[in-house]
C-alpha cells in the first residue's frame, strides 16, 4: 500500500485545533475592524520577480519557487506585504489616504522546520499605506497590542527599534556594510557578551566602535530612561529628529493606552531589509522556544520600488502558529464543544420510524439546536453508548410505542431521567434541558 505523508513543514489542522484557531482569528479580526482596517486577500502565488525586486536574488533560496506550465516563474507568497504593495501600486494609488487593509492568510517559506517555524504558516496582519506621520506608527503598534490583549494574552511586550537610527549609527562608526552590522546587532541576545564583542572585532570594529555598539544595545527599556542616553550617543541631526519622533510615538502610545506594553530596544534590526524607520517585534515569555510572536515596521520606499509614487507605509503581522501554542500553554484558549446538543436515536429499522427521526432532527436543527441522528443505524443500546461517548447531553428516542401516542422520549444523559413528550413539544423540551 502506498502511504503518502504530509509534505515537510506542513500541518493537518483537526477540528479541535481549527476551533481554537478560529477563536483566535475572530478576536483579532474584531479589533482590526474596530480600528477601521478592511480585509483583503491577494493570490497565493505571484511572479517570483515581485519578491526578488524587494529583497534581492538571495531571497529566492527561501521561496517556494517554480515554473508553471506556461513558463512563468512564480512563487508562493512568503508574506503579504509585497503583494499588498503591488496591489496598491496597481489600483489604489489614487485612493483616499491612508489605505488601511488587513489579511489573515497562509504564507510559505522554504526553511528547515523547527520550534515555531513551519513551511506553511498563517499570519494576521495589517498594512497602513499613505501616512508618514508618527501617528500611523502609533496606530499600528497600538493595534498590535490590542490584538494580543483581545486573545487574552497579558504577558508580552512590543519592543521598538529604528532602522534609520541603526543606519545613522553605522555611518557614525564609518561602517560600509550596515546590513552586516545590523545582523550582528540583531543576534546580540543569542550569544554571551564576550562572544558578541569578539564577533564585533571580527567584523572589523576598533575598541571605540565596539564600546559604542555596547552602549547602543544597552538602550533598552522605557523611554524616560533610554532616550536621554540615546540623545547623547547619537549626534547627527537626522538621528536627533528620529529620536524626537520616537519620543512622540511613546506619548501617542500613552494616549492609545498601549504604553505599558511598549519598550524601546534600539538593538532590534529585524531581518527585512525594506524597513526604513520604526520597527518593532512582540515577545511573549514562554518555555516553548518561541521567539517573536509578531513584528512589523515602517517601509517607506517599497511602493516606489514596485513602480509606484513614493508612498510611506507601515504595518505588522502576527504569527498565528507562534501565538497559539503560547495561548494554549497559558490556558487562554476556550474549550470548544464539538459534540452535538442532541442525539436522535430510533428503535428498529422501519422506514416510518427512520423518516420520523430524520424529520425531528431537522426540526431541532431549524430551531438552532445542534442535532445529529444515528446515521449508523445502531441498536438502541449501542446508540446510547455512542451518545454517551460523544458526551451528548440530551438524547431523543423515537420508537413505535411512543409514536403510537404521538410522543417521543427525551432523555437527560447525565441524570438518566427521561420522559415522553408530544412530538410538537420536542424542541421546547430539549431547549429547556440544555
The footprint of RNA (CB under 7 A) covers: 1, 3, 5-10, 51, 54-55, 59, 62-63, 78-79, 81, 109-115, 117, 183, 186-187, 190, 270-274, 289, 291, 347-348, 376-382, 384-389, 397, 399-403, 409, 411, 413-416, 418
Which grid cell is 421? 413528550
What sign results for the dihedral spanned by CA atoms 46, 102, 99, 280? negative
The least distance separating RNA from the CB of residue 352, rounded to whole angstroms, comes to: 12
DSSP annotation of 145: H
- Check if the beta carbon of residue 410 is closer than 8 Å to that of residue 426: yes
Question: CB neighbours of 160 closer than 8 A, spacing ≥ 6?
Answer: 141, 246, 249, 262, 263, 264, 265, 268, 278, 279, 280
Q: Which helix (H) or strand (E) holds 296?
A: strand 292-298
- Of 62, 59, 103, nearest to 84 (Cα)? 103
Going by C-alpha positions, the residue among 361, 399, 405, 408 that lies closest to residue 380 is 399
Q: What is the DSSP letter of 22?
A: H
**Orientation of helix 207-217 relative to helix 178-186, angle to 10°:** 50
Shortest gap between Cβ of 255 and RNA (angstroms)? 29
Q: State in angstroms the smallest separation of the CB of 160 from RNA.
A: 15
Joined together, the cell numbers standing for residue 197 give 564583542
To the nearest whole angstrom, how small is the minimum distance from the Cβ of residue 138 to RNA?
21
What is the DSSP-derived secondary structure letter of residue 319?
E
What's the start-to-end Cα distance of the chain, in Å? 46
Q: Cell 533610554 sits at which residue?
A: 226
Q: Which is nearer to RNA, 148 or 299 (CB)?
A: 299
User: Which CB sits closer to RNA, 89 or 397?
Assistant: 397
Nearer to RNA, 174 or 271 (CB): 271
Query: At residue 236, what are phi and psi to the nearest 5 degrees?
Result: -70, 155
By beta-carbon proximity to RNA, the closer residue of 234 and 280 is 280
Our CB check for RNA shows the closer of 62 and 106 to be 62
- The one-character DSSP state at 6 is P
In the complex, least distance from residue 421 CB atom to RNA, rounded to whole angstroms: 11
CB of 244 to RNA, least distance (A): 26
Choose between 79 and 162: whose C-beta lies nearer to RNA. Answer: 79
Taking the least distance from each CB to RNA, the nearer of 172 and 420 is 420
Q: Of all helices (H) and strands (E), which one includes residue 128? A: strand 120-129
Q: Smallest distance from the beta carbon of 391 to RNA, in angstroms? A: 8
User: Cell 541603526, residue?
Assistant: 166
Q: How far is the CB of 61 from RNA (least distance, A)?
A: 7
| 66 membership: H or E segment, kind and range | strand 65-67
**59 or 326: whose CB is closer to RNA?**
59
Cβ 14 to RNA shortest distance, Å: 10
**Nearer to RNA among residue 240 and residue 330 (C-beta):** 330
Amino acid at each position: 500500500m502506498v502511504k503518502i505523508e504530509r509534505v515537510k513543514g506542513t500541518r493537518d489542522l483537526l477540528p479541535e485545533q481549527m476551533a481554537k484557531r478560529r477563536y483566535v482569528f475572530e478576536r483579532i479580526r474584531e479589533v482590526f475592524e474596530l480600528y477601521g482596517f478592511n480585509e483583503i486577500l491577494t493570490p497565493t502565488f505571484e511572479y517570483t520577480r515581485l519578491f526578488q525586486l524587494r529583497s534581492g536574488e538571495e531571497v529566492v533560496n527561501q521561496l517556494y519557487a517554480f515554473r508553471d506550465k506556461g513558463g512563468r516563474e512564480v512563487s508562493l507568497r512568503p508574506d503579504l506585504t509585497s503583494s499588498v504593495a503591488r496591489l496598491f501600486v496597481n489600483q489604489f494609488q489614487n485612493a483616499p489616504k491612508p489605505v488601511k487593509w488587513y489579511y489573515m492568510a497562509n504564507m510559505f517559506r522554504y526553511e528547515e522546520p523547527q520550534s515555531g517555524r513551519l513551511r506553511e504558516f498563517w499570519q494576521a496582519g495589517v498594512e497602513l499605506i499613505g501616512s508618514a506621520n508618527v501617528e500611523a506608527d502609533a496606530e499600528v503598534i497600538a493595534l498590535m497590542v490590542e490584538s494580543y490583549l483581545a486573545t487574552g494574552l497579558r504577558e508580552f511586550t512590543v519592543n521598538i527599534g529604528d532602522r534609520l537610527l541603526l543606519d545613522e549609527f553605522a555611518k557614525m562608526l564609518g561602517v560600509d556594510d550596515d546590513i552586516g552590522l545590523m545582523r550582528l546587532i540583531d543576534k546580540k541576545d543569542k550569544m554571551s557578551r564576550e562572544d558578541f564583542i569578539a564577533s564585533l572585532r571580527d567584523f572589523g570594529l576598533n575598541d571605540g566602535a565596539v564600546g559604542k555598539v555596547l552602549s547602543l544595545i544597552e538602550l533598552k527599556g522605557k523611554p524616560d530612561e533610554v532616550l536621554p542616553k540615546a540623545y547623547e550617543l547619537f549626534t547627527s541631526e537626522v538621528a536627533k529628529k528620529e529620536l524626537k519622533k520616537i519620543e512622540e510615538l511613546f506619548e501617542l502610545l500613552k494616549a492609545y493606552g498601549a504604553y505599558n506594553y511598549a519598550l524601546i530596544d534600539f538593538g532590534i534590526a529585524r531581518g527585512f531589509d525594506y524597513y526604513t524607520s520604526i520597527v518593532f517585534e512582540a515577545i511573549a515569555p514562554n518555555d516553548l522556544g518561541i521567539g517573536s510572536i509578531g513584528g512589523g515596521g515602517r517601509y517607506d520606499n517599497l511602493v516606489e520600488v514596485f513602480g509606484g509614487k513614493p508612498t510611506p507605509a507601515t504595518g505588522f503581522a502576527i504569527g498565528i502558529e507562534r501565538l497559539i501554542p503560547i495561548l494554549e500553554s497559558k490556558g487562554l484558549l476556550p474549550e470548544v464543544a464539538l459534540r452535538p446538543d442532541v442525539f436522535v436515536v430510533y428503535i428498529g429499522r422501519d422506514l416510518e420510524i427512520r423518516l420520523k427521526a430524520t424529520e425531528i432532527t431537522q426540526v431541532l436543527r431549524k430551531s438552532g439546536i445542534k442535532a445529529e441522528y444515528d446515521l449508523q443505524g445502531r441498536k438502541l443500546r449501542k446508540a446510547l453508548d455512542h451518545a454517551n461517548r460523544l458526551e451528548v447531553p440530551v438524547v431523543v428516542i423515537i420508537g413505535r410505542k411512543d409514536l403510537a401516542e404521538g410522543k417521543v422520549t427525551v432523555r437527560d444523559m447525565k441524570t438518566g431521567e427521561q420522559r415522553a413528550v408530544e412530538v410538537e413539544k420536542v424542541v421546547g423540551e430539549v431547549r429547556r434541558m440544555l
